[in-house]
Structure 1
């Protein structure tokens, strides 16, 4: 049994809780808010995200290198977070397929123009982008294939 002081606090809490009653929730106002998407991923941020799923950074780098060599993604540059209009135009028709691969409803893809904050006229080094075989390979990637890679 708890000491006297602690017990008194519980009794007071129970007494206060007994005086409460339920009520209906009322919506007093509604405001439509929009949230811009975050910056595009670079390789280091991608490594952090998949690291939370149990992958080690050396595994991510090794698998990414293999994906690059198989023309699944572009060369892995770490600092580029912008895209050219040509890259965007190339990826836009693939967006519904890419969405399905990562379990996103393609109907949610309403942005069909590149947002200015992501756009660059001439890439400094080149954004990490999907290659032509991405949609064939990505559904087969999982922890087992990554573990086998390294």
Structure 2
């Protein structure tokens, strides 16, 4: 396909369900907007409670995180991301996300290239997240809830 044939499109938030981010957490949800098998890119919202911590993860590609609401940080850094902030994560970096106490859930828009490798305390890979695992999670959720899945590999 030539780039001239790609249509500009708009995906409505209400058309995509919040999917539990299992098996990692039953309190964290993800809303997938785009799962690109060619570029290995995922565009998604992530919603997490204002308490808790996710496992450490390593990025094989770059990640851009825009904070829609709430406050969070990485245990390994001093900065705090709050509503309106943008975090740029370089390929090859590792972090441990932490929620910071507040009155509202954390919601972030994430543009992820490549894979997220979840690590244990010995820095061994225990799980891999990418566009394919996102599709599998989304498709399984749709099947279990009687929802007709959208083709998230293309904006249509």
Using the size of structure 1 for normalisation, the TM-score is: 0.28
More strand by share: 2
Using the size of structure 2 for normalisation, the TM-score is: 0.27
Of structures 1 and 2, the larger Rg is shown by: 1
More helix by share: 1
